[in-house]
Structure 1
Amino acid sequence: MIFDLIIAIATVGIAIVLSMPRVSRSTTWRAVVTPLASIIGSGFLLLGPVLNLGYGGYAPLVMLALCGVAYLYGAVIRNNIQAGEEAIIDGTYGKLAKRVETLSSWALAFAYIISVTYYLNLLGAFSLSLTPFDSTLDAKLMTSGVFGIIVMVGWSRGFKSLERLEYVSVGLKLAIITGLLVGLMAHFSKQAIDEKLIFNPQNVTGWSAITMTFGLLITVQGFETSRYLGSSYDAKTRIRSMRLAQWLSTLIYLIYILLISYVFAPGQMSSSETGIIDMMGIVAPILPFMLVAAAMASQFSAAIADTSGSGGLFAQLSRNRITEPQAYLALGIIGIALTWSADIFAIVSFASRAFAIYYGLQAALAAIISVRRGNNPGKAAFFVLLAALGAAIAILGQPVE
């Protein structure tokens, strides 16, 4: 009961702070919120059980590696923001740079389709997890129904009215994550005092451990959204806010995985997409309900954002030969097909591969820009290596078994 009270106070406190006009109207904070919310959205729900069951006591090191790779690709995106999006598009850096930029935009548009499927499958699973309808079939039916709603809204009205809910859902999610971390800190401290901390064995080793890590890239994706906020913020603000969002998300993820890695025995963990709910029920009875609320709010808002982004990209890249409503319909058809043909972890792997292609192409673009600018050859070589890593992740990434 006391854990529940502490968690509730921390959650409400952060929610109040985030809703204060001084915070909510801050240009820097609003620029940070979009990439931060994307990075620590869905991954936060999956990574705890997945990393612990796969890597045991070494889970924090794997988390650090994932965040490190994400930060390197963040450096790629920041380089391309600094180079100037308009300069890239108008051919200032040559025709090859322009073509790679166009190709990467197509890759991002398709990556968005898979990421929406990922978000809505999580929404379907979490929304029913505490009800009598907690089954794979019911979750897929729920996901398909939400896809139908999104397609109908996008086709008939567009998403502008729904996008206004983004800041509210982001604030709710960040507040609940704070409450979760406070609860885990209290639980970890109690286990440490009672000398009950556990170092679980590693179940995935060797090459399989590397390829499974590749398949989890989507869980730390989202920082690239800063690049596409040019209508709201200047380049300097977007670069600074993306860097800050990645630092904050890395800190949050590492604290979370560190606190969760040494307090649960293998028998207390589940490999299902909603396994985190049962684990948090051990910490405090209030946490499962909070996690479900956070999942429903954040997954829906993330799905709306990526659906809107995908539709806009398809329309722009096809020069309106594909209209936004047509793109939404295609997204719904592909998403429902994926929902019924693959499990959530296979979809996570597909999404990771799709974003790896995008990041790899952006790294290739950064290399071209560096050469055209006459920068240090080492910088261009660094970007080429990241492009190769993106290709390796796209080819070799494997789903969680």
Structure 2
Amino acid sequence: MLTNIVIVAALAATAAVMAWPRVYKNNLWRATVTPLASIIGSGFLILGPVLDHAYGKWAPAVMAGLCLAAWAFGGTIRFSIRLLDEGHQDGRAGTLLETASSWALAFAYFISVAYYLNLFGAFAVRIWGGGTHEGARLVTSAVLLLVLTVGWTRGFAALERMEQLSVSTKLAIIAALLAGLGVFFTGKAADGALVLNDGAAHGWAAVTLAFGLVVTVQGFETSRYLGDRYDASARIRAMRLAQIISGVIYLAYIGMMAYLFPADSVPVKETETIDMTARISSVLPVLLIVAALSAQFSAAIADTGGSGGLIRELTGGRIPHRVTYAAMVAAGLAMTWTLDIFAIVAYASRAFALYYAFQAALAALRARSTGRPFHAAAFAALALAGLAITLFGTPVE
């Protein structure tokens, strides 16, 4: 009873803060919403059981590593935002890297939309009980076709306006989840009942598995493309704030979840978070399903629109939005019916890592051309790290 009261109180308090005009209308917060929506779009739904199973008591350290890697890659993009705002002009090599980077991002969006909507389908069928893989795939396919229909006939402008409401809903539910976890964790600690699991992944396999989870901390790069609405300073601050908030959420979540349940009681499946939180409170599973459906749909809409705009820009308008939407939905249907969700997660991670590698290489080139050798070396190292993730990232088994 106490846990449910704390959960509802945290939910109501956070929702009230999000609805407060001084927050809702704050320019920095509005700029933060887009990257934050992408970062927390799905990671908190799958990371708990995956990291607990693979890394056991070391799960918080791996989560910290993922957050630090995201912060470092974000640093390359923030460097470029600042430099371009100062009037920097790229040479031929820089222009080619920028173009390659944009194509990599557009391609990554194709995979991320499939990832988001497969997670949507998996959580949607849980409304009617356990659900099946076939049922989840049917739901995902229906939503993919809905996305195509809306994009083809009306565009996504109206749906994109839901983004801030969606983020507020997610943050309120995440606050409730953390509050419930906090009460449960404190009780377990007081009883001396916390567990220290041994992870199932070891050595190089553990490293490549972490590579395959990069997509769970991805999304900060969207600040790079908000130049028509916010100046460089606002975008840099918004990206930092989004990464700090998401990092705190992830570390608090994994820092408690990793020590609550024996490893043999936590099977690895995409909706296991529902079963784990059901042991904590009867309220949390319902809230998580609401958060999952809201988060995945809004993230898929954002990435679909983003890819359509990028490809239209890259081709000088020769490939219109509608063609991109149709190709994306076709690719999404193919992935839905041929891959499991963890394979899609790994492919999405590798695709975004390629984009980050290009951005880091571009930042290294810009740093060298402006007389910053230390920055150039650091960014070049990050480019190599991004390439390694692209080549070696593996899915959860």
Same fold (TM over 0.5): yes
TM-score under structure 1 length normalisation? 0.97
1:152 aligns with 2:144: no
Give the whole-Å Cα distance in 2 for the aligned partners of 1:268 and 1:187: 17
Q: Match of 1:153, SS?
A: helix
1:128 aligns to what? Answer: 125
Q: Deviations over 1:135-166 (max 9, x none)?
A: 00000000000000000110111000111111
- 1:389-400 to 2 correspondences below 5 Å: 389-400=385-396
1:337 aligns with 2:326: no
Q: Which runs of 5+ in 1 are unaligned?
A: none
Shift of the alpha carbon at 1:320? 1.2
Of 264, 286, 309, the residue aligned with 2:306 is 309
2:59 aligns to what? Answer: 59
Stretches (4+) displaced over 6 A? none
1:48 aligns to what? Answer: 48
1:323 aligns to what? Answer: 320
Q: Match of 1:283, SS?
A: coil
1:80 aligns to what? Answer: 80
Q: Which amino acid aligns with 1:239?
A: I
Q: Match of 1:227, SS?
A: helix
1:25 aligns to what? Answer: 25
2:274 aligns to what? Answer: 277
Q: Which amino acid aligns with 2:184?
A: H
Give the whole-Å Cα distance in 2 for the aligned partners of 1:157 and 1:37: 23
Q: Match of 1:284, SS?
A: coil
8 A Cα contact 2:66 2:210, kept in partner: yes
8 A Cα contact 2:124 2:293, kept in partner: yes
Q: Which moved more, 1:248-257 or 1:331-340?
A: 248-257
8 A Cα contact 2:85 2:232, kept in partner: no
Of 365, 374, 381, the residue aligned with 2:377 is 381
Shift of the alpha carbon at 1:232? 1.0
8 A Cα contact 1:200 1:262, kept in partner: yes
Q: Which amino acid aligns with 2:364?
A: A
8 A Cα contact 1:121 1:140, kept in partner: yes
Shift of the alpha carbon at 1:212? 0.3
Shift of the alpha carbon at 1:358? 0.2
Q: Deviations over 1:348-379 (max 9, x none)?
A: 0000000000000000100110111122x121
1:238 aligns with 2:235: yes
2:36 aligns to what? Answer: 36
2:180 aligns to what? Answer: 183
- 1:151-300 to 2 correspondences below 5 Å: 151-300=148-297
Q: Which moved more, 1:377-386 or 1:147-156?
A: 377-386
Shift of the alpha carbon at 1:37? 2.0
8 A Cα contact 2:37 2:163, kept in partner: no
Percent identity (aligned): 51
Q: Which moved more, 1:127-136 or 1:254-263?
A: 127-136
Q: Which moved more, 1:348-357 or 1:131-140?
A: 131-140
Shift of the alpha carbon at 1:237? 0.7
Give the whole-Å Cα distance in 1 for the aligned partners of 2:375 and 2:315: 33
1:143 aligns to what? Answer: 140
Shift of the alpha carbon at 1:252? 1.2
Q: Which amino acid aligns with 1:75?
A: G
Give the whole-Å Cα distance in 2 for the aligned partners of 1:231 and 1:257: 36
8 A Cα contact 1:270 1:276, kept in partner: no
1:182/1:133 CA distance change after superposition, 3 Å:
closer
Give the whole-Å Cα distance in 1 for the aligned partners of 2:86 and 2:346: 33
8 A Cα contact 1:184 1:283, kept in partner: yes
User: Superposition RMSD on alpha carbons, in Å?
Assistant: 1.1
1:365 aligns with 2:362: yes
Shift of the alpha carbon at 1:170? 0.7
Give the whole-Å Cα distance in 2 for the aligned partners of 1:290 and 1:268: 22
Shift of the alpha carbon at 1:85? 6.8
**Number of aligned residue pairs:** 397
- 1:338-357 to 2 correspondences below 5 Å: 338-357=335-354
8 A Cα contact 1:345 1:399, kept in partner: yes
Q: Which amino acid aligns with 1:21?
A: P
Shift of the alpha carbon at 1:57? 0.4
Q: Match of 2:270, SS?
A: coil
Q: Deviations over 1:11-31 (max 9, x none)?
A: 011111101111100001111
Q: Match of 1:15, SS?
A: helix
Shift of the alpha carbon at 1:38? 1.3
Give the whole-Å Cα distance in 2 for the aligned partners of 1:245 and 1:319: 32
Give the whole-Å Cα distance in 1 for the aligned partners of 2:85 and 2:340: 37
TM-score under structure 2 length normalisation? 0.98
